Structure 1
Amino acid sequence: MKYGIGAATASRVSPETKLIVTQSPFDAYVRKYGTIPRRGVFGYFVHELGRRIVGGDYPVGATLPNEPDLVEQFGISRTVIREAMKCLAGKGLVEIKTRVGTRVKERSNWHHLDTDVMVWHYETGPSVEIMRSIKDLRRVLEPEATARAAARGTAEDLAAIASAYEDMVSTIGDINTNADADLRFHTAIFAATRNMIYAQLIDLIAVAIYANRALSSHDEVAEGQKRSLPYHKDVLDAIVARNPDAALKASHRLLDSWRIDRYDF
């Protein structure tokens, strides 16, 4: 699965450059949540190079093409290239050394929780390793967040969680609107932890919810949303009852119900 510069279909050529820009199922997500907007020469180039690195076109330890080669290949300025390399270095993907070049760093150095990096994993065909890692981390984060929401959430927090659940119920069959409500449900739970750092970790779940919608068929997504609804209700009920232990167990049951067949471990 490849999206971006160089694709042969549904493309347009920027009049200023040789960049060929194609649509990706993740464009809407990046526009709303990404750290680097996917627009303009700089934005498209950063996302294309990031995808190529994460997707393995430039493997770990490889030296990226030098500036003159990139100028020739993409028709962009050296200034754009340098700023893009700094951006990728800031995400932990590359290191820049004078008179040596720009080298792809070990995957352990990548900022995998960076929203753009997470999206690049999905856009290039997520590996078993990254999907197992995401599912494992969700099992650590979500149940504990749910327990904390039950113990610490304000009346307003609980109302937000309940409202999101009601929207999930009313939008079954509309996979996009339902996924948006699902994200609001989890976002409200993380906010109810009353921990501002914990609350920011919602991006991990947000990308996973969006990826499920983008990578699976309509029927698969619709069936999964319907199947998970009672488990969301159990989570809501436990939080409203102010029962952290029940909330913890309900969250685990919800995660057990989460299945994307090709990534079911």
Structure 2
Amino acid sequence: MASYSARGVHGHVVHELGGRIVRGVFAEGDTLDIRALGAELDVSLTVMRESLKVLAGKGLIDARQKRGTFVRARAAWNLLDPDLIRWRAEGGDADRLLDDLADVRAIIEPAAARRAAERRTDEDLDALSAALTAMAGARGDVAATAEADALFHRRLLAATGNELLTRFELFLEPGLRERDRLVHGRLGPDDPVPSHRAVLDAVRDRDAAGAERAMLDLLAKAADDADRATG
């Protein structure tokens, strides 16, 4: 799921309106005045309509005859969408986002590490090692560290040999990127390499229990960092 909100003028409108909805500037049930918003953002009605189609695809809005375009209930939002994850991180909902992300990771990733230790191939080890090298080379660069972190966890999921589990990356990657930007942006640079190397070493040794423990330790540190970052 690629982010839409970086794509030209349409992306700007999508980002602006989507962010307002997620922040609560436009509340559930509010009707959007498309012409007024188009004038405010200095874009044509064509651009507005195309942008609203994107927001509708994300579950944020809907349109009905006689009612117009309105904001849908939060239960209808696609909370796994990368743009929604970004807007939540930027818009005051970061605490809940980080809590939910930590909870899901605690359920999924220790078991994934165990499976990876049992099933990994030499190619998986090469991919994990390359991700760890990228992580080490990104020290001090928050964006590059976030990318390398997401890459490591994506390749760990792939090392389980489970296609469905591997696709969990669709949620994990954008969540991890926003979490890393938020945490490291507030706390300053950190060295994520040792905790990730412990996971890789256990996976390499086919130590399933050790890989699970190492991942639990990694997640505990991540949760502590998030708590400190959000106060």
Change (3 A) 1:197 1:98: farther
User: 2:68 is matched with which residue?
Assistant: 101
Report what 1:240 is aligned to: 204
How many Å apart are 1:123 and its aligned residue?
2.1
Please give the secondary structure, in 1, of the residue aligned with 2:189: helix
Instruction: Determine if the alignment matches structure 1 residue 45 to structure 2 residue 13.
Output: yes
Q: Which runs of 4+ in 1 moved over 6 A?
A: none
Match of 2:93? 126
Q: Distance in 2 between matches of 1:175 and 1:39?
A: 22
Aligned partners of 2:142 and 2:181 also within 8 Å: no
Change (3 A) 1:167 1:88: closer
Q: 2: distance between equivalents of 1:139 and 1:132?
A: 11
Label 1:96 to 1:188 Cα distance change in 2 as closer, same or farther (>3 A). same
- Contact 2:199–2:211 (CA<8 Å) still a contact in 1? yes
- TM-score w.r.t. length of structure 1: 0.76
Which of 224, 230, 237 pairs up with 2:194? Answer: 230
Query: Which residue of 49, 58, 64 maps to 2:32?
Result: 64
How many pairs were matched up? 228
Q: Which ranges of structure 2 fall in alignment gaps of 5 or more residues?
A: none
* Residue aligned with 1:183, SS: helix
| Cα 1:112–1:52 shift into 2, 3 Å | same
Deviates further, 51-60 or 173-182: 173-182
Inter-CA distance 216–147: structure 2 relative to 1 (3 Å threshold):
closer
Q: TM-score, normalised by structure 2?
A: 0.86
Identity %: 35
Q: Does 1:254 align with 2:218?
A: yes
Contact 1:64 1:101 in 2 (8 A): yes
Q: Which gives a bigger RCO, structure 1 or 2 (Cα 8 Å, sep 6+)?
A: 2
Q: Aligned ranges for residues 1-265 of structure 1 at < 5 Å?
A: 34-65=2-33, 67-216=34-183, 220-223=187-190, 226=191, 228-258=192-222, 259-260=225-226, 261-263=228-230
Counterpart in the other structure of 1:22: none
Secondary structure of the equivalent of 1:96?
strand
* Letter aligned with residue 129 of structure 1: R
How many Å separate the matches in 2 of 1:69 and 1:84?
Answer: 15
Structure 1: any 5+ residue segments left out of the alignment? 1-32
> How far off is 1:54 after superposition?
0.7
The residue aligned with 1:15 is none
- The whole-number CA distance in structure 1 between the counterparts of 2:124 and 2:184 is 33
Q: Is the 8 A contact 1:168 1:181 kept in 2?
A: yes
SS at match of 2:133: helix
Q: Identify if the C-alpha distance between structure 1 residues 119 and 175 changes in structure 2 by more than 3 Å, giving closer, same or farther.
A: closer
What is the CA-CA distance between 1:213 and the residue it aligns to? 4.5
Looking at structure 2, the residues matched to 186 and 248 of structure 1 have their Cα atoms a distance apart, in angstroms, of 14
Deviation of residue 106 (structure 1)?
A: 1.7
Change (3 A) 1:240 1:120: same
CA displacement at 1:193 relative to structure 2: 2.2
Q: 1:70 to 1:180 in 2, by over 3 A?
A: closer
* Pairwise CA RMSD: 2.4
Return 148-157 or 166-175, whichever deviates more: 166-175
Q: What is the identity, as a one-letter code, of the residue corresponding to 1:238?
A: A
Q: Which of 210-219 and 86-95 deviates more?
A: 210-219
- Counterpart of 1:44, as a letter, is H
